Structure 1
């Protein structure tokens, strides 16, 4: 396979509800993750749902990070796809730390073609 990138699909649990329902905290966590992952931000969109939940997408020169939160369950899901030299695992560690997830499950996929 000609590897083009690394794709992490992450589920995280037992995070504080007030963190997962705070769009500014989610924005800052994504920015810190992008820096830790040595990625280049192109655009960042953060949306607060009513009555709760946040969705944010970061378009990167290396691809993207997307996060969706369910504060009422202390749960969030993250998709990190990095091409090139980026470090998605480092980015995910920052998200886990800043959002205080007590449990995570990470599935890693190599992306590319034969």
Structure 2
């Protein structure tokens, strides 16, 4: 079964809270994860909450990486959603787990965009002339 994308839902429990509450560290970890996965970074946006907690997104040409941290619980929720053949979401996930010094990681993988009723590979991008809606 082929899909347009892979979505990794990553639960990070028992992480280093000092890393989870540091805006620059969190931002750099997600940006570095995108680079290590061979993604094309489009934009980066992070917000630090008071008294603590960070939410952020790294928009990539192949989709996105997002994070929400709860340093007071040593927890972060991360999404790595990718499309295409060249990007390696599992490399991004492993780097993120290690960088946050996570002791109890959990990853759920979902295939997104399973739209073909035939068992054939779906193109990631098509030309306008080739565009056809498939139901």
- Structure label with greater radius of gyration: 2
Large movers: runs of 4+ above 6 Å: none
* Distance in 2 separating the partners of 1:64 and 1:30: 10
What's 1:25 paired with? 25
Deviations 1:71-104 (A, max 9, x none): 0000000011000021111001111111111111
Gaps of 5+ in 2: 117-135
TM-score norm. by structure 1 comes to 0.96
What's 1:96 paired with? 97
Say how many residue pairs are matched: 114
* Distance in 1 separating the partners of 2:17 and 2:30: 17
Offset at residue 2 of structure 1 (A):
4.0
Gaps of 5+ in 1: none
Higher RCO, 1 vs 2 (CA within 8 Å, ≥6 residues apart): 1
Offset at residue 42 of structure 1 (A):
0.2
Offset at residue 5 of structure 1 (A):
1.0
User: Which has a greater percent of strand?
Assistant: 1
What's 1:106 paired with? 107
Q: Alignment RMSD, CA only?
A: 0.9
